[in-house]
């Protein structure tokens, strides 16, 4: 088997791979932003050129998703982890209850933060089988303030194929599958996503919120946690993460150019190639239920765990990086986000086949 010697195939779960054209444009802007003679990372966030970047980033999100009037798009700091608190601060009434579905580590962390502010009801969980599936046939109480889900679970490799039916407000953490396929964003009251999987580098988090849901809890909210304040200040209540927003804007341009249907087609093709090999290869097996397999994070283990070190060395020889699984699952995890070219997946599949020939 011919090994690639120069290119590193980056299967990291996050920060994840970015389109090469975006990396090139961003690197040029670090040296000279918009022919200003200044680096992107030293211009004022109040400079008209950067304010144009922020406006374009927000408008691209609206255009790509087809958002109607009445929704705001924010680029904030603190990662998705801060959203675990911002969501209940802004949407959970002190006397109300929020519903949560527990599908893994990040969903559970979101629950823990919400519990500090009010009542929560965990209406379904996959914890009984170490989060290897997505709970089905969810019945959500109508009277809850919102239902929170995590649409893709990076650690376990599961993903919602269909959103739960509920009469209440639906809130989603889409950090690891945002912009990976077309969605009807109007089914959600609020969506949040850390940029560092499919949209940009670590440092900013995108929030989409329906405006008329805000300001109804009667709760006093710290300024930095108040969505309404960030909306009124166009995501610049404080100094925004200039570089992360700029790279996100460049990536959103790339997403718009391809279109979400084409991105979904590519993601399905990559995932099918890899899952088919996992199912065929006598050395490996999938780590979660087939019907709930993620298109973003492919988790698998070895049928002979004693060969893991040997396979890891084989991966290194092929310049494959970031494939080690999370410690709570073990095995391996191939994160194949939007910018991952199918050629890198083909290299991984070739390595798996070659390893089987020599060790099977």
Cis peptide before 290 (omega within 30 of 0): no
Of the residues 7, 108, 128, 173, only one is catalytic, namely 173
Which among 202, 144, 146 has a CA at the least distance from the CA of 172? 146
- Distance, C-alpha 124 to centroid of its chain: 22
| 3 state DSSP class of 230 | helix
Based on the residue annotation, tell me whether 106 is a catalytic residue of this protein: yes
Based on the residue annotation, tell me whether 197 is a catalytic residue of this protein: yes
Two structure tokens written together for 344: 């890198």
The Cα 135–Cα 159 span in angstroms is: 11
DSSP label of 87:
H
| 3 state DSSP class of 80 | helix
Based on the residue annotation, tell me whether 5 is a catalytic residue of this protein: no
Which among 349, 297, 334, 323 has a CA at the least distance from the CA of 131? 297
Contact between residue 139 and residue 123 where contact means Cβ atoms under 8 Å apart: yes
Two structure tokens written together for 249: 């804007």
Contact between residue 74 and residue 80 where contact means Cβ atoms under 8 Å apart: no
290 class by beta-carbon count within 10 Å (0-12 exposed, 13-18 middle, 19+ buried): exposed
The Cα 78–Cα 65 span in angstroms is: 24
Which among 140, 174, 145, 142 has a CA at the least distance from the CA of 159? 174
Of the residues 145, 197, 210, 270, only one is catalytic, namely 197
Two structure tokens written together for 267: 């993601």
Two structure tokens written together for 272: 């099918």
Of the residues 32, 48, 69, 106, only one is catalytic, namely 106
Which among 18, 38, 15 has a CA at the least distance from the CA of 28? 38
Residue 213's CB is within 10 A of a number of other CB atoms, namely 18
Active site residues: 106, 173, 197
């Amino acid at each position: 088997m011919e090994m690639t010697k120069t290119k590193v195939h980056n299967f990291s779960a996050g920060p994840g791979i970015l389109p090469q054209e975006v990396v090139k444009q961003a690197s040029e802007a670090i040296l000279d932003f918009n022919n200003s003679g200044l680096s992107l990372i030293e211009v004022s966030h109040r400079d008209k050129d950067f304010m144009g970047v922020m406006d374009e980033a927000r408008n691209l999100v609206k255009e790509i998703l087809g958002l109607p009037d009445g929704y705001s798009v924010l680029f904030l700091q603190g990662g998705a982890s801060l959203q675990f608190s911002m969501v209940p601060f802004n949407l959970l009434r002190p006397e109300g209850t929020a519903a949560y579905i527990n599908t893994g580590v990040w969903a559970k962390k979101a629950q823990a933060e919400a519990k500090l502010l009010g009542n929560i009801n965990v209406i379904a969980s996959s914890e009984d089988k170490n989060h290897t599936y997505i709970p089905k046939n969810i019945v959500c109480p109508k009277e809850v303030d919102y239902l929170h889900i995590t649409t893709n679970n990076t650690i376990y490799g599961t993903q919602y194929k269909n959103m739960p039916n509920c009469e209440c407000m639906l809130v989603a953490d889409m950090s690891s599958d945002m912009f990976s396929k077309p969605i009807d964003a109007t089914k959600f009251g609020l969506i949040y996503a850390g940029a560092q999987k499919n949209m940009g580098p670590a440092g900013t988090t995108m929030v989409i919120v329906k405006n008329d849901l805000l300001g109804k809890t009667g709760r006093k909210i710290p300024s930095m946690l108040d969505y309404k304040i960030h909306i009124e200040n166009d995501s610049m209540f404080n100094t925004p993460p200039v570089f992360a927003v700029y790279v996100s804007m460049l990536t959103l341009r790339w997403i718009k150019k391809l279109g979400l249907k084409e991105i979904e087609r590519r993601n399905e093709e990559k995932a099918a190639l890899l899952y088919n090999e996992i199912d065929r290869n006598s050395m490996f097996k999938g780590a979660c239920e087939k019907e709930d397999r993620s298109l973003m994070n492919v988790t698998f283990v070895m049928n002979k765990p004693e060969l893991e070190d040997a396979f890891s060395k084989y991966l290194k020889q092929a310049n494959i990086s970031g494939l080690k699984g999370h410690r709570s699952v073990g095995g391996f995890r191939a994160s194949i986000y939007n910018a991952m070219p199918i050629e890198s997946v083909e290299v991984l599949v070739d390595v798996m086949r070659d390893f089987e020939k020599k060790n099977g």
